[in-house]
């Protein structure tokens, strides 16, 4: 009985977070200016969007960008997961550690770094290659669809790896060996046994990556926008921040949002179904037999070189160029002469500037509160979903998952609509509207993780506590929480890192009182002040590396114990 009662407020809270902004967004699209208190109803916004000249190029760009990045990241990420988990690749342990680093790198910074490396006018690599090969023009132009796909692939690769590595690790190696002994070649084993077995996991990863690519702003905003290659999120940003009339075109954004929300929610449902299907193929064998990894033979060092090329491109080169840029006196090409004039000015300014310190404090509060709320809510939602038999539990699961498919810029606009309407909740323009946005967005990730853990937790464990006389909350506090703690901490760290680096929603909800580090970096960068953006970025990355590193230490110590 208690469990049913606990479901109701949870369900209402989730519905408020996920559904209300969508409904108001839909209604706002039918208002002339996109505000709910506008007079009258109209289809003008719909006509302007769907019959306008910007729609088709934008849809084409969005699709090419999303499909291209997803395909590339999936291919390389699957290969990396296979190399690390199933072969005798040299230095696999180090790869497992290194893969965490790009994960802690904000995509905005990676995009900025690659502009610094491959811009046709000032890119370091471009000039190095021109010098080395005697070319008279830059061989690469980062400001292109190819550049966007390249950087987004670097951004997504660690996520693909992290999603697929456990699938490779948990697959009973005897399934492969049985095929080998039957006389199958390596190629046949990979194509007829390994890949089909992993198909649900790979498809789920593909749909997840596709969703991420369709909503991402950082990379297309940094690389595509300056040369007017618009995808959906950057177009929405332009309509909101740089509309020709000077007023944000909220009505149009709302009308466009309807299409994307429908498509993305459909994808989110597909993802949900695929992940469920994946569990059917769970093939964890009982025998703790660690098999000989597959020998790569003469490909061994080629694979090693490939993996480290990736780390060089994804982490080492971007970090180096950001660090050097942050020490430049002003934005300029990196040459040997300039290296004599490096200065710590921007770093010192960062440490002394009250505006920067406010942004740091805001970011810290937002990340801390969002991470804690998401961790707590995820555990409660999962416990209700996994354990209760009430009919509403599937709806709750779905509500928690929905926001995954809503672009950050659109959640931003949705929340603007909500809190300009519900003015009795005075959080518009404050850091708390960002907290609401992040809790909504990141809850999907959190509940996926905690669901997985609670499903594995045998019901007997809790029932033994109930029989011993523990009540509802005591069972949660004394039994469920300690057992789920590693997962809850993982959720907390993930949300903290992502909230600290999130850009698109923050840009939409940006006001005078809620500047965060990511919007500050964006403003420096788009204002042409690269060194200052880099200086801020270096400190943000340092903080995130420290956080993730500490967490990994904790995890490793726990695994050993």
Partner 1 sequence: MLEAASLTKTYVTAQGPWRAVDDVSFRIEAGEFFTLLGPSGCGKTTTLRSIAGLETPDEGRIAIGGQAVFDARAGVNLPANRRDLGMVFQSYAVWPHMSVLRNVAFPLEVHGASRREAAEGARRALDLVGLGHLAERSATLLSGGQQQRVALARAIVRPVRLLLFDEPLSNLDAELRIQMRVELRDLQRRLSATSVYVTHDQEEAMALSDRIAVMRAGRIVEVGTPDQLYLRPRHPFTARFIGQAELVPADLLRRDGGGALLRTRLGDIACEWAGDVAPGPASLLVRPEHIELHPPGTDGPNTAHGRVLSVAFLGKLADHEVDVAGLRMRVQTMSTARRAPGTEVTLRFPPERCVALAPE
Contact residues for partner 1, defined by CB under 8 A: 172, 174-175, 177-185, 188, 192-193, 196-197, 199, 280-281, 283, 285-287, 289, 291-292
Min dist. Cβ of residue 173 to partner 1 (A): 9
Q: Which is nearer to partner 1, 175 or 323 (CB)?
A: 175
Buried b (16+ CB within 10 A) or exposed e, 13-32: bbeebbebbbebbbebbbbe
Tell me whether residue 179 or residue 367 sits nearer to partner 1 (CB atom): 179
Closer to partner 1 by CB, 170 or 332: give it.
170
Q: How far is the CB of 196 from partner 1 (least distance, A)?
A: 5
Asked whether 138 and 130 are in contact (CB, 8 A), the reply is yes
Which residue, 193 or 319, is less far from partner 1 as judged by CB?
193
For the CB of residue 293, give the shortest distance to partner 1 in the complex, in Å.
Answer: 12
- State in angstroms the smallest separation of the CB of 185 from partner 1: 6
Residue closer to partner 1 (CB basis): 186 or 348: 186
CA atoms within 13 A on the CB side of 426: 0
* Cα-Cα-Cα-Cα dihedral sign, residues 473, 475, 476, 479: positive
The minimum distance between CB 342 and partner 1, in angstroms, equals 46
Locate 302 and state its tokens.
Answer: 């080629």
CB of 297 to partner 1, least distance (A): 11
Residues whose CB is less than 8 angstroms from the CB of residue 109 and which lie 6 or more positions away in sequence, other chains included: 318, 322, 521, 537, 540, 541
Neighbours of 78 (CB within 10 A): 23
Nearest to 550 by CA among 493, 506, 507: 493
On whether the CB atoms of residues 168 and 78 are closer than 8 A, the answer is no
For residue 294, give the 3-state DSSP assignment.
Answer: strand
Residue with tokens 């006509």: 47
Please state the φ and ψ torsions of residue 87, each to the nearest 5 degrees: -125, 180
Task: For partner 1, give the closer residue by CB, 287 or 389.
Answer: 287
Choice between 179 and 516, CB closer to partner 1: 179
Nearer to partner 1, 279 or 466 (CB): 279
Contact 184, 192 (CB under 8 A): yes
DSSP 8-state assignment for residue 559: H
CB of residue 197 to partner 1, shortest distance in Å:
6
Query: At closest approach, how far in Å is the CB of 497 from partner 1?
Result: 32
């Amino acid at each position: 009985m208690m469990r049913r009662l606990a479901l109701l407020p949870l369900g209402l809270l989730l519905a408020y977070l996920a559904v209300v902004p969508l409904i108001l967004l839909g209604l706002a699209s039918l208002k002339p200016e996109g505000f709910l208190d506008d007079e009258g109803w109209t289809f003008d916004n719909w006509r302007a969007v769907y019959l306008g000249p910007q729609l088709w190029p934008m849809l084409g760009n969005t699709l090419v960008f999303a499909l291209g990045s997803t395909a590339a990241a999936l291919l390389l990420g699957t290969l990396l997961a296979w190399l690390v988990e199933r072969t005798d690749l040299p230095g696999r342990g180090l790869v497992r550690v290194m893969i965490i680093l790009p994960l802690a790198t904000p995509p905005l910074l990676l995009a900025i770094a690659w502009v610094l490396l491959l811009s046709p006018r000032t890119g370091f690599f471009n000039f190095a290659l021109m010098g080395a090969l005697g070319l008279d023009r830059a061989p690469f132009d980062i400001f292109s669809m190819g550049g966007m796909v390249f950087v987004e692939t670097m951004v997504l690769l660690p996520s693909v790896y992290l999603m697929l590595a456990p699938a490779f690790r948990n697959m009973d190696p005897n399934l492969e060996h049985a095929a080998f002994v039957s006389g199958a070649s390596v190629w046949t084993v990979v194509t007829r046994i390994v890949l089909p077995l992993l198909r649900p996991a790979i498809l789920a990863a593909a749909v997840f990556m596709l969703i991420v690519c369709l909503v991402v702003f950082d990379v297309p905003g940094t690389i595509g926008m300056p040369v007017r290659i618009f995808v959906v999120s950057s177009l929405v940003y332009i309509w909101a921040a740089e509309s020709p009339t000077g007023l944000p075109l909220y009505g149009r954004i709302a009308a466009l949002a309807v299409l994307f929300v429908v498509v993305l929610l459909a994808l989110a449902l597909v993802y949900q179904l695929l992940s469920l299907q994946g569990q059917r193929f769970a093939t964890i064998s009982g025998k703790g037999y660690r098999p000989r990894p597959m020998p790569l033979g003469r490909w061994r060092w080629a694979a090693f070189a490939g993996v480290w090329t990736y780390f060089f491109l994804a982490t080492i080169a971007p970090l180096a160029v950001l660090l050097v840029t942050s020490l430049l006196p002003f934005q300029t090409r990196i040459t040997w002469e300039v290296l004599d004039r490096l200065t710590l000015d921007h770093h010192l300014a960062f440490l002394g500037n009250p505006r920067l310190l406010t942004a740091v404090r805001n970011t810290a509060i937002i990340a801390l509160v969002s991470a804690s709320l998401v961790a707590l809510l995820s555990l409660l939602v999962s416990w209700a979903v996994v354990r209760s038999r009430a009919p509403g539990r599937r709806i709750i699961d779905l509500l928690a998952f929905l926001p995954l498919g809503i672009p950050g810029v659109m959640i931003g606009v949705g929340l603007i609509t909500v809190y300009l309407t519900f003015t009795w909740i005075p959080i518009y323009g404050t850091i708390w509207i960002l907290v609401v946005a992040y809790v909504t967005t990141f809850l999907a990730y959190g509940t996926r993780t905690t669901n997985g853990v609670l499903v594995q937790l045998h019901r007997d464990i809790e029932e033994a506590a109930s029989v011993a006389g523990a009540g509802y909350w005591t069972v949660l506090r004394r039994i469920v929480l300690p057992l789920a703690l590693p997962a809850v901490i993982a959720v907390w760290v993930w949300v903290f890192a992502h909230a600290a680096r999130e850009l698109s929603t923050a840009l939409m909800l940006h006001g005078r009182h809620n500047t965060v580090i990511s919007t500050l970096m964006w403003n420096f960068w788009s204002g042409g002040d690269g060194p200052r953006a880099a200086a801020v970025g270096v400190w943000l990355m340092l903080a995130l590396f420290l956080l993730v590193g500490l967490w990994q230490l904790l995890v490793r110590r726990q695994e050993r114990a």
